[in-house]
Structure 1
Amino acid sequence: MAPSTIATPRTPEPDTQPTTSGPRALVARLHNPGLYAGASLGAVSTCLSGDPLLLTAAGTAAAGGWSALGMHPGPWRWLPGQGEPWQWLCHRSSHSYRRKAARMRRRLHRQTFGSPADTGLFVIGVCDGWRTHEARPALVRTVTADAHRARCALLRKAWQDALPDWGDAWWRRYTPAEMALRTSPLMVLPATGFVGLPWWGDLLAVSAGAGWGARMWRRPAAPDVKETGPEGAGWYLARWAEWIACERGPLPSSKLVSLHVDDEQLTAVIVSTTARSALSVQQDTVSIAFKVPPRAVNIYRPDDMPADRAKLTVRLRALSAGELDEDDLAAVWDTYNPYAGSTLYDAQQTEHGRRFRLLMPRNGASVAEVQARPIAQALDLEGDNAVARLHLRVIDARRIEVSEMTTNPLQDGVPLNLDDLTMDEQGYITVGRDIYGNPAMWRLLKFDPKRRGLSGNPSASSVHSFGSGTTGAGKTSLEEDLQVAQRKNGFISWLADGKGGAGYASWINDLDWLVKSSYGAMLMGQAANAVSEYRYAEQMKLQWLDEEGYTENGRSFFVANEPFKPMTVTWDEFNEMVLKDPKAPHVKPLLRSVSSVGRLSRAAGLSARIWVQIPNLDSIGSDASANAVRDMLQSGNIALFRTARKDVDIMSLGSRTPEFRLSPLPERFPNGSETGGLFYLADGKAQYTVSRAAFHSNPARMARQFPLHSISQQEADAACKAGPAGLAYLRREEYRHLDAADEEAFLSELLAKEGERSGKNRAVFDTKPAPAAADVDDDDLDELVPPSRSELVWHAVDGGARRNKQIADATALTRPNVANATARLERLGKLTKKQQEWHTAEPLAPQSVSA
């Protein structure tokens, strides 16, 4: 990287005037309107007298002082178009340095010292030795240059600390008003009449006015920075170090790598060496540093680039503001195009703003690379939250539609309509509206008319669902809409509330089964498995009709209401049930039961729906059951609400990871209202659309209009035979109104009594040989031989802890011990680090670690 030196600003070339003398040259100089205007104004000074002369003198003196501040160089140079405020300081220092260097060279040439042997003198002392030093000129120049750089850096830093936000719109040309200010000292000339000068004084005033007017008329406007062509790579590196990577800059200690500059464009990669994201650099900051218009700068991060890096592109050959129609989006896009070869077309005004389409090139950037941030930067959209106003929708492989919505159509909310909750022939219901005014569809069942029941109804398979969002984002609103829809369409609804019942307090009497404890959530999953197994056993005895109408025996698919009703089991705050105490006895049975529901219950008409806080499926654990849950949830409905984290676009959704980058959802709409219920809804492919869930103040009351459905007595009996979870379902009315702690105590006591009763008068025959004593895994031995730090850390990561702080909280170890253990496990290949988060890579063998 080039050293951070002060780049000497380029000064415009002086006007090339004819230097020949003679009559033709004199006549050419007379073709100057400023000369006649200045001479006329000077002549008017002899005609004024009295009060008009006094008022003219006072007004023109103020105007002259106003213009003098912008005309003369100095630290007061503040008018737009004058350049950087510290440029004069550097310029004066450069003059001083050049004068010192010239004096030094002259003295060095005059002082022709020979060697002591040539002169016959015996040289004694440091001074004489220094004067005869061979490298003296180079050393003097180096020391002087270092002093010059240090002095200029000190002055520049002092000025930047005084006015850090100076320099808005410095690149534009002078306006007619500014030119009038520059020539306003001519207005001082009438004051000469107030003084009462003799005839030669009046003649001198006329000559001064003519000369000043001619000079101002020939003075060019502020030069366009890019008229002289792009600077070298070293200049841009130095400017980046001075303006961006400095100690108090927007991204300290950052670097520019892979820098490439040509006549049209600069491309580079921003590397952040601190905790700040590379995207924290603002567009205006880079435009000021590189002396280009803001829309010529594009800063974005491709999907395959980590958070500490970002792509920077700068258009160096751009039209000036006067030559470009700001309202013509196609012309602006062609000038500041961030995607080479793309075309903007079909721009039109809509009810909520503007809309246009982008045609991507056949060879080059694809629609998957298009992001809202570069588009907003290239079009120079106004407002701090311009990116949030852009909504992208892919039309085909080369076309993408961009909608700029100055007023969000979803900010007024979406009322809940019962007619929208009626399931159509494809199994969809409408749970709200998307940003384009289309219905937001949610699928409850997937029908297949090729296989039917004896009544003629098509076969159906249930659809799993997954959603994430922080507290207050609106997950409960969508879940309540789904509960109303399920009750209206004849579904059986079971729900496990991870908030201890506070999330669905109004639904206590309006659901077939509602549990409020993690222990109850485990039993609910086990009971759902028992119900699905019973349904499979019964469906094997039924007949069905194929596509051609033939009757077949042994049905392997689900048909609604023949004889069972569709069923949905919901686990809200699922990650809290798993991560609150990863070593709790209910965690592994809960994960196993949920994974079994996901893998085996779709053809039995039973679906699972999971809500979590963090938009990352890794938060539910990393064992085999958790992996099965992740695979299950990638094939159904996905809703992503607002989260506290900004990395929504890198969530771990496997095959359903968004193909197009998602912008974080805001906390408030432009009108100030909250964005509760706003979420990204997956359309079944790789595109996610901003939608808003329908809202009603009392959805439980609306659900009471429809009958409450429960599993049949045969299903409940089968669940009881399969395990104690069925008994917890049958006695649900006894603990329906208890809180989470009392419910867990009731269920624990119930299962303990059931275990004692079922164990009486039962002979147990152990047909499996006893394992060797060395292989016995006895928890009582942990006090005698405690687990090592590495084992504690590995099991904490396996339980869902991802950062060192979370691991330290889960293991009660200090942060240095956790850091050493994770580093050791990474060297052994037991842990791997992804996006600053730890994940288990291989199972941990006890003999593989000892620390």
Structure 2
Amino acid sequence: MSTIDQAAPAADTPKSVPGHVIYRRVLAERTSYALAAAGIAVGPQLDDSVLSYLASGGLAAGTIAWLYAKTKDPDQGLDVITRAQRSIPFLTAAGTYLANLITPGFNWWEVLAPAAWAGLMGWMAPLTRSAGLVLELTEHQEQLADGGPREPVTYEEFLAAKWAHATGGETRLVSVQPYRADRPDFEAVIVAQAGKAVPNYTETQLAAAFDFPLGTVALRPVQGSGPGRMRVVARPTTEDTERAAEGLRGLWETAVCRPGGAAPGVQLVDYRAEAHRIVLLVASPAGKEIRLPHTAICSAFGIDDPSRLVIETDGIRMGVVSVYKTNPLMKVRKATVEDLTMDSKGRITIGICHDGKPARMRLWDPSQGALRGITAGVTGAGKSVLQNLILAAEKRSGVVSWVGDVQGGMSLPEAEGRVDWFAKGPVETLIMLTVAHAVMKYRERISNEMGRGDFALGKPWPLINITLDEINRLLSHPDEDMRKLAAYLIADIQKTGRKVGIGIRLAVQSLHLKDLGDDDAIRQQGKVGALFLMRTASSSTKEMGLDGIAPTGFQMENIPARIYENGQIEALFSGKDDEDGESTAGMAYMFLDGRAKFMRTFFAQKVDGVYPDLIELYGEDPVTGLTDGEAKVAAGAAELYTLRHSNPFADCDTLAQAFGGAKKSAGASAQSEQSDTDGDDDGGGEAAALFDAPFGAPFGAEAEPGEEPGLQDQIYTLLADGPMSLKDLREALPGFQPSSVSNACTQLKAKGLAKPVKRGVWQRDN
């Protein structure tokens, strides 16, 4: 038998083979053409000897002879056309090879011709076609070819066939929609014959029709249709949340959207069941604003933990209602360095949203500059953890962080020594704001000279973010001058600091105007940036925070102090202690870019009054400070900035206590000369001298009739009897803070009226 006969065995009758056999043969044939084409192109360039001519010519001549012989022998079982089909690749390959051999040198077509030959032969696949292979049919396909019964080939068709077989064809199962591809659960519509109603099938009949467990198949009416159409819901394996979703659809129709319900007219458009959450897509009627009262919907669904139901709207007519088995934020993880690393858009991750997405906020906005913000929440709501997360992120991102802890350093002790300026108490916080205002004016002046109207990070200044914790204590301070000055400085920085890279955040317990210096601008400007509403003590604080920024139709319920896995009412009924619940510290509604997000900050464990996890997140790198030019801003600001780590006025509640004199007008200005200090001086003397004229009466001034002498005068009088220790001086002056007595002694030294005998002991210097 010839080579050609071996390549493709003769077959008088078609041979049935599976589809993959035909595919493999065609692939092998096309691969051989590609390899042969490479040989046809390269071979003539490497060897043009007589043997090459004889081999290629012999192949062509042998093929022609074979074809001629086969046409003379009809007993072979193949007609002339089939034999010619087999000879095509051999004759054309030999002809192309001979043409390349005969042509002297190298021509471009000597490569193109073999490639074209391989492409044509691959498309024709003449050897496989001439083999007489036929695709083998399956048993099912043979039945269809013979006109036999057609078996269902999809799950939907299978269910429809089972229903028809079980009911005898009196109704049809249409619009079958499986819930998940890997489970048998589905929803469909049963259609009766024209003019007839769907029979009242029992649960047993429905379960038997699909061979599902009893009680897992139920009939429901089709909204807008008569008794001739019914909806069948089959859930033999899906989770409880999906069964609950079906129940919620019914609850929505009967208790929410009906007239007199929780949200009349708001229709349930679609819903989705997840492992621990059911998501409802709802919409108000066209032309109506969406209104979704949180408490009323919780009541309709029988939810006693309002944090298990989260409402979000587009502010027009669409909304998403998320219903959770348990509070989705009951447990959250700890923060990582990656979370607190600022991205190119100025964002960091500070927690987790209710739907599992990261809760992100901006340290600054590349398109707007520095940002403002307010965090409102009662003690224990989680403000300190949130502020520490932000401050740690700022330190790692090269931001200059200034912190005013009006509670004397007790609110954010983790930040002390880890930010550029940690001011303790109302006086130091006011001094820090004064310096910040001076730096802002300096940046404004330089920006005007440069012709710039915005802020670029690091060009030429770093971003400064000021965090003021428990600022209500300063803005509602009984000292009118301090209160007014603080309100002015904060409001002015809020209004104009953005364009020069100075942002300011307030952490408060109350948003009432009386607690914000009677300045509505402070509240309104703070809400322009990031607003965090945590657990608050009154509904008025919540409403003040939402006013002007909450999306239309949004309603927020106050976050409870504790949440319980099985609900608060069950805990009360079972007699559990309050401590058995989970604290909601860190839960908040975050308002950014016109959207409200229910979230919780990352978890942090307090140990011995501090958060070691948060301290670790600050890292060991040095903090970022002001540039040299900024540190020399104004006559008084430079000296105050150099004293920022000494906390000279941490125990002072008023400027009178800090600087020992009767307060003068806040608009007065003067400056005292600095003097060197010894080991007993804590740095307060220089700062006190700077503020002696603006806020304190000059030493030696006569007191008005009936007015008590200033602190310096009283100390100077006490020292007339000889040296006295600071301890004795403080005991003799119980009406003043201990640090104020120490500062007054330093001021007396600067004026040449007193000097330290030894550490902690003072006498007159005369």
Normalised by the length of structure 2, the TM-score is 0.49
Larger Rg: 2
Normalised by the length of structure 1, the TM-score is 0.45
